[in-house]
Each structure stands twice: as structure tokens, then as C-alpha cells.
Amino acid sequence: MPTSKRLRINGPRLQRNLEDLARFGAIAGGGVCRPAFGRADKEARDFLEDRMRALGLAIHIDSIGNLFGIRNGRESKPVVLCGSHADTVGTGGRFDGSVGVLGGLEVLETLNEAGVATRHPLGVVSFVNEEGARFTPDMMGSLVFRGDLSVEAARRMVGIDGTTVGGNIDENCYAGPSTPGELPVRCYVELHIEQGPVLERDNRTIGVVEGVQGIKWISFTLRGATAHAGAMPIHLRHDAAYVAGATIQYARQLSLQVDGQRATVGSLVLSPNLVNVVAEEARLTVDLRNADPGRLSAAEERLSLFVNDIAGTEGVRVEREVRVDVAPVMFDPSMVDAVENAAKTLGYSYMRMISGAGHDAQVMAGVCPAAMIFVPSRGGISHNVAEYSAPEHIEAGANVLLHTLLRFAD
């Protein structure tokens, strides 16, 4: 069997690098809090840059802060790229995003050790602000790379803490000299934890991801009027909290009634938020997901009609803003087949599936052929400090990544 077929990554070394990266923004319970463009996120990026330099990679940092490490190929051809993100949600785990970036670096280190040269250059990227939980939109770094969002527009985004992306980029020295999107990319493969229960339930090691659900984030600002909680009769109230509560209920109904639909109210702020005062304002977000674009739009339509209707009855004004609108994607079939063949050849159990979570790969699918490799999440838990994926599963995922990349690099 040719050398490269026998190649396997170094699992213990990958685990050590995951533990090292988890030090940045470490929080109680074994989790990580690295909101995009913050200090911990930048320290994590600096750590990744040091690892890239140690592997002899050429470093490119673009003006939104995406970090690329490039390993030369025999010919100067478009890059076979892998990677993911290093930012996390506030209740993040040690694996979401990190597995894809460090898994990619482990693949390059394995090739360096084996002295394997490839025809195409190989690259690893850490995209900024994949999560979008602090600054919308999510997948900001890959959207800027694709040209859907200008750096200027991204820098103007105001976060949930009132700061701007541009202010954080400047304060934490995030920006680099490269122009976003200038790197020619042949294909993109992202290794990621599943973040749901499917692989564990079906006892499979590898998820061969065929596509990713679409995402819509809608923010609502509901404005009524404060009143005395005891003295004001119900029929005379303009209660923003009541409309917000009805919306939360309706989101659950949408999830149960519309095929393949998920609707989640993850953030809700009431004002004045006092026990004996009818709320005059409610700010809430609804996260809509569906793999079918038509159903996703229909769900958005139904939600907006419902909110306008119940708010009208209550005499509450509605302000609505679409903060994120990323289409569902199906990955390039030849890329998906390559992932499946690698899993099969390596002898891992696998299954084809759709990703419930959003990923940079669904944006990169608009730039070049893309695919994803999943490994199981224990209990399906993610965006939670207890997030966990077993070392042997992460090692398997990185081996599938290695052999999928080699398939396209030569």
C-alpha cells in the first residue's frame, strides 16, 4: 500500500493541543467562554498562529481577522483548505470549532513528519466569529471571505454588549494585511463535532454530512406601556411580556407542526423587569432552522403574522429585524463521496446525515466544493460546558480528514 494510504494522525498529540487551546477562556465545568473578537478569542488565535509557525506554514491574516496557515504544494495551485473556528458561545465547550482547526493542524503535522509532499498547497483556516452570539451575523468570517459582507459593514456591527466589531478588532489587534477572499481555494473540508444525538444514538463513529440546515435569526422589539400590576385591569393593558410569552409558545408550536422545523427563543429581555410593573418593552430573538428553504420561509412568514396579530390585539407595537439569513446547502456529491470512501477505507462505522447546526462550510459551499465530517457528541450536548467527544472519535475524524484532503491535494 503506498505510504500515504498507511498514514494516520497522532491522536494523543491532537488531544494535548485541544487541552492547550481550552486554556484560553476556560470556565468552570470544563467549558470555554471565548466570545468573538474578545481577548480570550485573540489569545486563542495567537496560540493557533504559533502552532502554524511551528509547522512551517505561511501565515495569512485578513482584515476581518480570519487566520490561514498554508503548507506549500509542489505546484502553486488553489489551496485544499480545511479548518473551522475558535470563538465560542458564552457557555461553550472545548470541542466546538477547536476540533476542526486543531484536527487540520494535526493532519499537516502528520504529513510533515512523513515527508509527504502534495501537488496542491494544503491550508488550515480559523474563521472569526462563527458563532454570532455576541455580534451577528454568525459565520461572519466566512461571509466576509465569500464577499457577502464587507469588512466595513462587519466592523459597524454592534454586539449584545454595545461594543462594535471594529472597536474590538482595533483594541485586540485582530486585523491582518490580507484581503478577504483573495486566497484561491480548490475545496474546503470541515471536521466538527455533531452537536446533536444522532451518531451516538445510531452508534456510528463518523458522520458523512450531506448538507446543512438553513438559519434565520429574527429579532423582535415589542413596545407596550408600563402599568400597575395590581390596579390595571387586564383588558386595558399593553403588556409586552404577554406578547413575548405567546411568541415563545408559538415557536414551540411551529417546531411541532412544520416538518423538519426548529424554532427557539434563546434571548429575552424585559423592561423595566420589575415584579409589580406591567412590562413596557420586550426584546427577543427567534432562531429558525429547516433543511427545506420553502418551509423555512413559510415558518418565518407564519411567525411574523402571529406576532403582528397578537401584538395588535394587545396594543403593543412591533419592530422586527432579520439578523441572519443563511440558506440551507447540500454539499458537492463528489466531496461527500470522498468523505464516505475515506471512512469506509479506514474501517470506521459511518452514516450520511444533515447538520442541525450551522457551520462555515455552508458558507464556503458558495465559494468552492465543500464537505463536512462529524464525530459524535456525548448525549448530543453542545453549547454547554459539559460538551464532550471521545478521543478515539476525534482521532477517527482527523484520520478521515487526512485521507479526504489527500484525495484532492494530489
Out of 109, 138, 200, 340, the only residue in the binding site for ligand HGY (CB under 6 A) is: 138
Q: What are phi and psi of 209, to 5 degrees?
A: -80, 120
CB 383 to ligand HGY: min, Å: 7
Q: How far is the CB of 138 from ligand HGY (least distance, A)?
A: 4
- Cα separation, 196 vs 220, whole angstroms: 28
130 is an interface residue for ligand HGY by CB under 6 A: yes
DSSP label of 249: H
**Of 339, 332, 333, 381, which Cα lies nearest the Cα of 356?**
381
Residue 63 C-alpha cell reads as: 482584515
Task: Work out how close the CB of 98 gets to ligand HGY at its nearest, in angstroms, rounded to a whole number.
Answer: 13
The option from ligand HGY, Mn ion, none interacting with 62 (CB < 5 to 8 A, set by class) reads: none
From 93, 132, 141, 397, residue interacting with ligand HGY (rule: CB under 6 A): 132
Task: Identify what 200 binds: ligand HGY, Mn ion, none; CB under 5 to 8 Å per kind.
Answer: none
DSSP string for residues in 303-361: HHHHHHHHHHHHT-EEEEEEEEEE--EE--HHHHHHHHHHHHHTT--EEEEEESS--HH
Q: Record the cell numbers describing residue 121, joined without a space.
A: 498547497
Report the residue number, 130 or 395, with the smaller CB distance to ligand HGY: 130
* Residue number, 132 or 180, with CB nearest to ligand HGY: 132
The one of Mn ion, ligand HGY, none whose footprint includes residue 138, by CB under 5 to 8 A per kind, is: ligand HGY
Would you count residue 387 as binding ligand HGY (CB under 6 A)? no
Give the binding range for ligand HGY (CB under 6 A) out of 28-36, 43-51, 129-137, 151-159. 129-137
- Choose one: 52-60, 65-73, 131-139, 222-230; the region binding ligand HGY (CB under 6 A): 131-139
For 75, phi then psi, to 5°, come to -125, 155
Which one, of 124, 150, 7, 9, lies nearest residue 56 by Cα?
124
Site membership for ligand HGY, residue 190 (CB under 6 A): no
Could you list the residues that contact ligand HGY (CB under 6 A)? 130-132, 138, 357-358
